C-alpha cells in the first residue's frame, strides 16, 4: 500500500462526538433527532470542529440505545428518514464539515431478520450467521465466559436446545465472522453507505470480531477469549480494502489492542487510521466513589504517545457516551478544571475528539432513584447487587457512580425549560445545573469553558507542531501534574496542567530552562494577574491551572 492512499485531513482535524438521542429534539417527542442536528450545525461550525461522529442512527429496538441494530440500512424513525439523513450529509459538506457514522458489526439486534431466521432452527440458512452451541446438561451454558454487561455470554434457546453467544446483552447476539456469506453481506452493507458519500466510520467493539475456541480457559483477563484474538487480521484486511477504496477516515474502538500492536493497526499500512484505546481511565478509590488517578491517566496516555510517536496515529478523548463526565471524575466540576483537562489532552499527538457537552464542562447527574437510570447494563448491575444482598441505597450508589447515563443526559442549550433540548418530556432527565451551565450563557461569557474550547481548537490548529511534533513526558512521577513537551523542527511547546484541586509546585527540568527568559506563555487558563509570562525553575500552579509555554529553540 502506498502512502497517498491515506487521507491526511484527519491528522489536522478535531472531531465532535454527537449522541443523537440527547443532542437536540426538533419535533418535541423528547428524543433528539436529525432535524435537531441540522438546526445546530452552525453551532458546531462556530466551535471549530472539522468532523462529526454520530452514534448509531439505524433501526433498533433500543435495548442498547441503537447498538442493537435490526436493519443496517434504515434510519430509526424517531431520528427521522433516510431523506433527512442525506440532507444532513449534504448540509455538513456544504459547511465544510465531514460526517462519520458508527459501524456496529460485531453483533446485531435479536430482532434483526438474520437472527429471527437463525432462531427458527438448526437447518436454517442463517443459523451459522451467529454462534450456537449445544447447552450442556440442565441447560448450562457451554462455557463460563462472562459478558461485558454482566452474566453469561450464552443465552439458552428452548426451541433448539442450543445457546447463542453474546459479549454484550442477550438481545445483541454476536455475528459469526467465520461465515463467508455473513462477511459478504456485511461488506455489501458497508459499501452501500460508503457509496452514499459518508466520510468514514467509527468501528464499534471491533476488536471482538474473532473468538477463541469455546474450550479456551480463562486465566486472568475475563475478556481474553474475545479481545483481539488471532484470526481477526483477515477480517480487518478485508475491511481495510473497502475503506481505502472510498478514501474514508476510520477510527476503531479497539479494546485489547495494545499500544505496541496499535502501531501496525494504524500505520500507513494499518487496517484503520486510528483507534480509541480504553486504558487511560485508570480508576482509584472505593467502588461508589472512584475517581480517575492522574498518575495512571498520564502514564497510559504517555505510553500510547511514545509507542505511536513515529508510526501509527492516536485518537484522543476524555469523554464518550460510555463514561461519566470527566469534569466530575477527574475535575472538581469547575470551569477551571474543565479547561485544564482540555489543555492536557487536546495538545497531545493525535486527533482530538470532543464529546457533546464536554465543551461546556457538563457534569455528572445526581441520580436519586434507579428509575432515573436508563442504561440496561446499569440496571443489570443493580439487580445483581441486590441479589448478592447489598442494600438498595448502597446498590444505587455503586450503580450510578460510574453509569454511562451521566454522559447521556440532554445537551444544555439555554435556560429555557429542559435546557432548550426539547419542548416535550426528555427521554432522560436534564441535569439540574442547566440554568447556569448552557451554550447560550457560555457563548456570552469570555471566561467560560465553551469559549476556552473554541480558542484551544484555534490554537491547536494554528500550530503544526501539535500535529507532527514529538512527545516527551516531563516530571513523569508527579502525581498531580500532567506536563509534556511537544517538539517539532521549528518550535517546541511545554504543556503543563495541574489536574488536582491543590496548589502545586512543579520543578521544571534544567534543559527546558536553558533560556529561561525566552519562554513565552502562549495559552492557558492562568489568572491574568499571575506571572504568566515566566517559566521559572519552580513553577507554582494554582488548582487546575493549565499553561502552554513556547520555548526558544537553539
Size of the site for ligand TEU (CB under 6 A): 12
In this structure, what are the phi and psi dihedrals at residue 409, rounded to the nearest 5 degrees?
-65, 155
| Cell numbers at 315, concatenated | 485518537
**Distance from the Cα of residue 348 to its chain's centroid:** 16
Which residue number, 61 or 470, has a Cβ lying nearer to ligand TEU? 61
Q: Does 148 bind ligand TEU (CB under 6 A)?
A: yes
- Is there a contact between 415 and 433 (Cβ–Cβ < 8 Å)? no
**Distance from the Cα of residue 51 to its chain's centroid:** 14
CA 140/CA 484 separation, integer angstroms: 52
Pairing label, strands 200-203, 98-103? parallel
Out of 240, 255, 403, 418, the residue judged to bind ligand TEU by CB under 6 A: 255
| Cell numbers at 370, concatenated | 434507579
Task: Give the x-and-dash track for 523-552 against ligand TEU (CB under 6 A).
Answer: ------------------------------
CA 128/CA 522 separation, integer angstroms: 59
Catalytic choice (78, 253, 359, 377): 253
Task: Give the x-and-dash track for 185-204 against ligand TEU (CB under 6 A).
Answer: -------------------x
Q: Does 278 bind ligand TEU (CB under 6 A)?
A: yes
Q: Is 350 left (phi over 0), alpha (psi -120 to 50) or beta?
A: left
Torsion angle in degrees (nearest 10) through CA of 95, 98, 99, 102: -160
494 forms bridges with which residues in the sheet? 485, 549
Q: Which of residues 150-169 bind ligand TEU (CB under 6 A)?
A: 168
Cβ count near 440 (within 10 Å): 15
Out of 186, 205, 348, 483, the residue judged to bind ligand TEU by CB under 6 A: 205
**Distance from the Cα of residue 259 to its chain's centroid:** 17
Out of 67, 72, 115, 402, the residue judged to bind ligand TEU by CB under 6 A: 67
CA 82/CA 84 separation, integer angstroms: 5
Q: Which of residues 422-451 bind ligand TEU (CB under 6 A)?
A: none
539 forms bridges with which residues in the sheet? 506
Which residue number, 337 or 400, has a Cβ lying nearer to ligand TEU? 400
Query: With b meaning 16 or more CB within 10 Å and e meaning fewer, what string describes 21-51?
Result: bbbbbbeeebbbbbbbbbebbebbeebbbbb
Q: Does 290 bind ligand TEU (CB under 6 A)?
A: no
204 in active site: yes
Task: Give the x-and-dash track for 368-407 against ligand TEU (CB under 6 A).
Answer: ----------------------------------------
Q: Does 64 bind ligand TEU (CB under 6 A)?
A: yes
Which residue number, 228 or 400, has a Cβ lying nearer to ligand TEU? 228
Which residue number, 239 or 495, has a Cβ lying nearer to ligand TEU? 239
At its nearest, how many Å lie between ligand TEU and the CB of residue 375?
9
At its nearest, how many Å lie between ligand TEU and the CB of residue 515?
45
Which residue number, 123 or 220, has a Cβ lying nearer to ligand TEU? 220
At its nearest, how many Å lie between ligand TEU and the CB of residue 404?
7
At its nearest, how many Å lie between ligand TEU and the CB of residue 106?
7
Q: Does 103 bind ligand TEU (CB under 6 A)?
A: no
Q: Does 209 bind ligand TEU (CB under 6 A)?
A: no
Which residue number, 64 or 162, has a Cβ lying nearer to ligand TEU? 64
Q: If you search the block for the grid coordinates 500535529, which residue do you land on?
A: 467
CA 360/CA 31 separation, integer angstroms: 21
Q: Does 322 bind ligand TEU (CB under 6 A)?
A: yes
Catalytic choice (64, 68, 204, 442): 204
Three-state DSSP state, 20: helix
Out of 104, 198, 248, 373, the residue judged to bind ligand TEU by CB under 6 A: 104
Q: Does 212 bind ligand TEU (CB under 6 A)?
A: no
For 320-365, the DSSP string reads: -TTS--HHHHTS-SSHHHHHHHHHHHHTSSSEEEEETTGGGT----
At its nearest, how many Å lie between ligand TEU and the CB of residue 502?
31
Which residue number, 147 or 418, has a Cβ lying nearer to ligand TEU? 147
Which residue number, 281 or 465, has a Cβ lying nearer to ligand TEU? 281
CA 514/CA 468 separation, integer angstroms: 24
- Helix, strand, coil shares, percent, the chain, to 5: 35, 20, 50
At its nearest, how many Å lie between ligand TEU and the CB of residue 226?
9
CA 128/CA 375 separation, integer angstroms: 30
Active site positions, annotated? 204, 253
Question: Which residues are at the interface with ligand TEU (CB under 6 A)?
Answer: 64, 67, 104, 148, 168, 204-205, 253, 255, 278, 321-322
Amino acid at each position: 500500500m502506498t502512502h497517498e492512499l491515506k487521507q491526511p485531513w484527519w491528522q489536522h482535524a478535531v472531531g465532535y462526538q454527537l449522541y443523537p438521542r440527547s443532542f437536540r429534539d426538533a419535533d418535541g417527542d423528547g428524543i433528539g433527532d436529525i432535524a435537531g442536528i441540522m438546526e445546530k450545525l452552525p453551532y458546531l461550525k462556530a466551535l471549530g470542529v472539522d468532523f462529526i461522529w454520530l452514534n448509531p442512527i439505524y433501526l433498533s429496538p433500543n435495548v442498547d440505545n441503537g447498538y442493537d441494530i435490526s436493519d443496517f440500512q434504515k434510519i430509526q424513525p424517531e431520528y427521522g428518514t433516510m431523506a433527512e439523513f442525506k440532507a444532513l450529509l449534504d448540509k455538513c459538506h456544504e459547511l465544510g464539515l465531514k460526517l462519520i457514522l458508527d459501524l456496529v458489526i460485531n453483533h446485531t439486534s435479536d430482532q434483526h431478520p438474520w437472527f429471527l431466521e437463525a432462531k427458527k432452527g438448526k437447518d436454517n440458512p442463517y443459523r451459522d450467521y451467529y454462534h450456537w452451541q449445544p447447552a450442556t446438561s440442565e441447560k448450562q451454558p457451554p462455557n463460563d465466559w462472562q459478558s461485558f454487561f454482566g452474566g453469561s455470554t450464552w443465552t439458552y434457546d428452548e426451541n433448539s436446545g442450543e445457546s447463542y453467544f453474546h459479549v454484550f446483552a442477550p438481545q445483541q447476539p454476536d455475528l459469526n465472522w467465520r461465515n463467508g456469506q455473513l462477511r459478504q453481506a456485511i461488506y455489501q452493507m458497508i459499501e452501500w453507505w460508503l457509496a452514499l458519500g459518508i466520510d468514514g466510520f467509527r468501528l464499534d467493539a471491533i476488536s471482538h470480531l474473532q473468538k477463541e475456541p469455546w474450550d479456551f480457559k480463562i486465566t486472568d483477563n475475563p475478556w481474553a477469549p474475545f479481545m483481539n484474538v488471532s484470526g481477526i487480521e483477515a477480517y480487518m484486511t478485508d475491511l481495510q480494502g473497502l475503506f481505502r477504496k472510498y478514501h474514508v477516515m476510520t477510527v476503531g474502538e479497539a479494546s485489547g489492542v495494545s499500544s505496541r500492536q496499535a502501531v501496525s493497526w494504524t500505520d500507513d499500512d494499518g487496517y484503520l487510521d486510528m483507534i480509541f484505546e480504553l486504558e487511560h481511565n485508570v480508576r482509584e478509590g472505593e467502588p461508589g466513589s472512584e475517581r480517575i488517578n492522574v498518575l495512571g491517566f498520564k502514564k497510559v496516555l504517555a505510553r500510547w504517545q511514545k509507542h505511536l510517536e513515529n508510526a501509527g496515529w492516536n485518537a484522543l478523548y476524555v469523554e464518550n457516551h460510555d463514561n461519566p463526565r470527566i469534569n466530575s471524575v477527574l475535575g472538581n466540576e469547575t470551569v477551571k478544571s474543565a479547561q485544564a483537562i482540555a489543555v492536557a489532552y487536546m495538545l497531545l499527538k493525535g486527533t482530538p475528539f470532543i464529546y457533546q457537552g464536554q465543551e461546556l464542562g457538563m457534569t455528572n447527574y445526581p441520580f436519586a432513584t434507579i428509575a432515573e437510570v436508563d442504561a440496561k447494563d446499569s440496571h443489570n448491575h443493580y439487580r445483581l447487587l441486590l441479589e448478592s444482598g447489598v442494600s438498595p441505597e448502597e446498590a444505587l450508589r455503586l450503580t450510578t457512580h460510574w453509569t454511562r447515563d451521566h454522559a447521556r443526559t440532554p445537551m444544555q442549550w439555554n435556560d429555557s425549560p429542559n435546557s432548550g433540548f426539547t419542548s416535550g418530556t426528555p427521554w432522560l432527565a436534564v441535569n439540574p445545573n442547566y440554568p447556569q451551565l448552557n451554550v447560550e450563557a457560555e457563548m456570552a461569557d469570555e471566561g467560560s469553558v465553551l469559549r476556552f474550547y473554541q480558542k484551544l481548537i484555534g490554537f491547536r490548529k494554528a500550530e503544526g507542531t501539535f500535529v507532527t511534533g514529538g512527545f516527551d513526558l516531563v516530571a513523569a512521577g508527579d502525581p498531580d501534574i500532567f506536563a509534556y513537551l511537544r517538539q517539532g523542527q521549528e518550535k517546541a511547546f511545554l504543556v503543563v496542567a495541574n489536574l488536582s484541586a491543590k496548589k502545586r509546585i512543579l520543578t521544571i527540568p534544567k534543559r527546558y530552562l536553558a533560556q529561561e527568559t525566552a519562554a513565552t506563555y502562549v495559552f492557558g487558563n492562568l489568572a491574568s494577574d499571575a506571572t504568566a509570562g515566566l517559566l521559572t525553575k519552580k513553577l507554582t500552579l494554582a488548582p487546575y491551572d493549565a499553561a502552554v509555554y513556547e520555548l526558544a529553540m537553539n
